[in-house]
Structure 1
């Protein structure tokens, strides 16, 4: 691996400081307006800049605000999806009789597993995701899923196959 020279390290630091100085307040305010919470906005802006710092070549950024907006939007959507997953899981837990309720550690493991599955299925359309989950988690028959989604049974089979391929590809990586 190539070790950068002190001059390159210093140049990188100057670029990162400039990006932060010129755009951090702008991004934080934009996120505050979108999220409605200054603390969440500050956290999201920090995470966005952490991803910029992790980039190997920040000097190639030509449109910093466009890139920052794209990264921040992806982080917001990931956060919202994670909250939706957690909310759905907690609602399902609330419907369980008390003796069946899992421990806090088990809940955390289940939430982490759900998030991992959600990331695996990220490339699927909403219909394909629904078909895959109905098939694999609910054990529904393809014909029933097709009727529910208003598509053909063959399309459901394709959706499920694509979901299985994404899971297998993720597990192999």
Structure 2
């Protein structure tokens, strides 16, 4: 628990300290396979702090340039669309139609995770359900989309 407390101090007591520490452990494992690490605890805390900074930057970029997927269909520069763009637009419309055939709760949870970048724990707290329920909805949506893609 001392290590978790150190990570919480380093990242400003963030709720994501456990996730950051887990990611830091993964990085330590990968790094220590190539190089020796003299101070694993220090490595973990510093890596977790760096990961927290990276996450804050990603969140800031998302806030500065929010894009509504519906608005993307209305963008036009007056030029004819290229075949690749048309194909991509058709594929996106098919994916959106496929997502519409999911149950509303499953679709909402899947989009919160994939588009909004929320973690399972954050989704569970927001929707007042268990993390296990979130995992099941994500698995259901993912399996549905895999089967949908294979069926095309």
TM-score (norm 2): 0.42
Structure with bigger gyration radius: 1
TM-score (norm 1): 0.37
Higher helix share goes to which structure?
1
